[in-house]
Amino acid sequence: MNAPIEPTLLERSAALQGMGESRLRKEDARFIQGKGNYVDDIKMPGMLHMDIVRSPFAHARIKSIDKSEALKVPGVIAVLTADDLKPLKLHWMPTLAGDVAAVLADEKVHFQMQEVAVVIAEDRYAAADGVEAVVVEYEELPVVMDPYAALAPDAPVLREDLAGKTSGAHGPREHHNHIFTWDAGDKDATAAAFAAAPVVVSQHMHYPRVHPCPLETCGCVASFDPIRGELTTFLTSQAPHVVRTVVSLLSGIPESKVRIVSPDIGGGFGNKVGIYPGYVCAIVSSIVLGKPVKWIEDRIENISSTAFARDYHMDGEIAATADGKITALRVNVVADHGAFDACADPTKFPAGLFHICSGSYDIPAAHCSVKGVYTNKAPGGVAYRCSFRVTEAVYLVERMVDVLAQKLGMDKAEIRAKNFIRKEQFPYTSAFGFEYDSGDYHTALKKVLDAVDYPALRVEQAARRADPNATHLMGIGLVSFTEVVGAGPSKMCDILGVGMFDSCEIRIHPTGSAIARMGTITQGQGHQTTYAQIIATELGIPSEVIQVEEGDTSTAPYGLGTYGSRSTPVAGAAIALAARKIHAKARKIAAHLLEVGEGDLDWEIDRFNVKGDPGRHKTMKDISWAAYNNVPAGMEMGLEAVHYYDPPNFTFPFGIYLCVVDIDRGTGETQVRRFYALDDCGTRINPMIIDGQIHGGLTEGFAVAMGQQMPFDAQGNLLGNTLMDYFLPTAVETPKWETDFTVTPSPHHPIGAKGVAESPHVGSIPTFTSAVVDAFAHLGVTDMTMPHSSYRVWQQLVKSGVAR
């Protein structure tokens, strides 16, 4: 009988489907068959339904709330207001930014669609009827929608609950509508550099308010067991463990008796990091009524009242030499935070990581100042597919570099190459104190310019500009971005005092399969696939037999969740290091089984070989079995490990994006002719998933830059809170994306990975703006506020005198 043929090294490696392989996503089978398990799929015996009474006014005093007619509606069980929550001290709740926010409006409303009362009923229809029957009498108050107007001496006091408080969570308050002033960098050195500079350019720009608008709206099912004193809540949360901690602090229920479960989530993008009043009210209602309570918001509620993004009014200045070398950067920002400071930012950074605004450039001196302001808009300020205000920072610096190039008559590519941090300067400490881990910006730039034949594009553009009969303007956008992700080191980053580490627990079963549990929670990033690939490479176990679980606080180790591109930089590192603990134990077991010393073994893909005698080996499957019946004397049985990873530093992925647009001079219609995106995310785990993440982020960036807006009138009415008004691009509108990459691994990360999902959103938005403005640059235009809709672009055509 012939001996079985041993698979080759290549075959064994391919069988693992580990890092670097474009393996299909493990989680997709259930989704494409409609077998996902979302919060609205949760059904419990005796479950009640909750709906919310919301204010039609942006600023008004509540004179009375009449529940009587609502309580007569068939099926309505209860109506709760702030007065009902006051005995429980739950009418206000802490925000992640150190402020407090009204759970239900207490005496007055601060923004349109604010939560005023909740109706609990036997079904959703009865709850909706009950909402219509609640009668609220309002006294309208002056509305403030402009953050500059909010700081005027005679501006109305918006937050009467803060009356007399001269300091907040982040320092002194200068005005009754002022939240904080935060700065970074060296103000004096920057001022000196500006004073000595032969060239100074400045630009005011507004990055308007937008909304993440995930496919699934927010919701929860809260179920309190009065016998056991246990609370279980199914929740659309990107950070379930943090929610558990906050719920315990608010309710007084021991955290050991609070279980938060985040099942499948239809997109998050930062919108599902925070804790919304609807969650709190559903939990309180379940505790009071002793039955499960479900709340699912509709799309209008989601766009109108859940956390927005951006709304930064930015003044940028660059100092430079006559030949284009940047010597200093200065930025002043007025940030519209809405009615409550509910930004999801690390405690030490009330303006997030905006001080990455020096970008990819070697700038000797820099200073930025951000002033947070209350207005009568919905609160929030989430990191919409970016890491804590990095999108605004990148937009600022890239627009300013374009303005400088325009002032000096230099090409966009030339001025960037002149000011890039050089490869040999890494690790590089920026003027704001960030230590960039690795990068090679010049190589990436050259790769992009060569791929698109950049000189030929400029020749074509010059010819188009010289032709008075040209039907279209042509614009070329070029952007470099450096992100700061992987929040983060607990010495710098925490939320409500909890350090922003992350965790992994891996258990290897006797038959060689495995289960891994993480403190993160996927919202479509493909964690079940990529996490298994990391373990496969580290432990030599096929990724197909590795089960990945997240989102259940009763089984997963404590973690800070998924947002700000921290899955791979933080949780991925925890996974790799947990696997290496198991690998070290497996080596001891292999040495025991082979009767050699540990130093006599070589690791090869999926097994330990005896040095010089590769025929003598033990595979990880052999070792897994032995771990439960034949281990060295004194060793515990089993093969498992837990690791909590507190990163030593952030990671700094980067990219170079180029966009070519053609603008119809008669209609303002803008066609994206080409978009070329090169990303460097360090070690690439699954190239196919990376491309998918980049395509998704670019599409979101296209939506923000070219059509999304949240306009308000003077009375605080949101003028576009349905998907009839709020632009979500389909396959019809979305351009074709071309992707490329370079690889510069992070030297401090266990597998060299940096993160990628945020990058395309961060980098694409200024690229689109750069391209649109470039089409008008020869006419002296230096900035155009987003979104670049056809009507807005047509207005610029008319203003510039080139409309046909």
Using alpha carbons, select from 531, 517, 529 the residue that is nearest to residue 567: 531
Which residue from 78, 555, 169 is spatially nearest to 372, judged by alpha carbons?
Answer: 169
First to last CA, the chain: 85
Which entry of 112, 238, 406, 523 is annotated as an active-site residue? Answer: 238
Tell me the sheet residues that pair with 136.
65
What CA–CA distance (Å, rounded) separates 733 from 114?
A: 34
Dist. CA 17–CA 153, nearest whole Å: 64
| Element at 171 (helix H, strand E) | strand 171-172
The torsion of the CA quartet 347, 351, 357, 362, rounded to 10 degrees, works out to -40
Token output for 431: 């003027």
Question: Tokens representing 760?
Answer: 């395309």
258-261 vs 230-235, strand pairing mode: parallel
Residue 191, Cβ neighbours under 10 Å: how many?
15
Q: What are the Cα distances from residue 349, in Å, to 112, 208, 316, 495, 675?
A: 28, 21, 20, 10, 34
In 10 A of CB 509, how many CB atoms?
Answer: 18
Task: Identify which of 402, 475, 400, 412 has the alpha carbon closest to the alpha carbon of residue 445.
Answer: 412
Write the DSSP symbol of residue 385.
Answer: T
Q: Measuring CA to CA, which residue among 294, 279, 271, 277 is closest to residue 214? A: 271
d(CA 579, CA 473): 55
Question: Nearest to residue 230, comparing CAs of 238, 222, 220, 241?
Answer: 222
The tokens for 496 are 């409500």
Q: Are 526 and 691 in contact (CB under 8 A)?
A: no
Question: Could you give the CA distance from residue 683 to residue 618 in angstroms, rounded to a whole number?
Answer: 29
Residues 6+ apart with CB under 8 A from 667: 790, 794
Catalytic residue of the set 386, 504, 659, 681: 386
Handedness of CA 317, 322, 325, 328 (dihedral sign): negative
- Token look-up 């009242």 returns 305
User: From CA 244, how far away is CA 232, in angstroms rounded?
Assistant: 10
Q: Could you tell me if 96 and 496 are in contact, meaning their C-beta atoms sit under 8 angstroms apart?
A: yes
Of 398, 538, 640, 758, catalytic: 758
SS (H, E, C) 448-463: HHHHHCHHHHHHHHHH
The Cα 317–Cα 763 span in angstroms is 21
Give yes or no: 385 in active site. Answer: yes
Contact 272, 214 (CB under 8 A): yes
Cβ 372 vs Cβ 379: under 8 Å:
no
Active site residue 281: no
CA geometry: angle 530, 19, 450, nearest 5 deg: 105
Q: Which residues contact 199 (CB under 8 A, 6 or more apart)?
A: 319, 320, 321, 322, 404, 407, 408
The CA distance from 501 to 499, in Å, is 6
Question: Edge-to-edge strands of the sheet including 502-508?
Answer: 546-549, 514-518, 502-508, 640-645
Is 758 marked active-site?
A: yes
Task: Kindly compute the dihedral angle of the four CA atoms of residues 520, 524, 525, 530, in this order, to the nearest 10 degrees.
Answer: 80
Among 54, 385, 389, 684, the one annotated catalytic: 385
Exposed, middle or buried by CB within 10 Å (0-12, 13-18, 19+), for 669?
Answer: middle
Known catalytic residues?
238, 385-386, 758
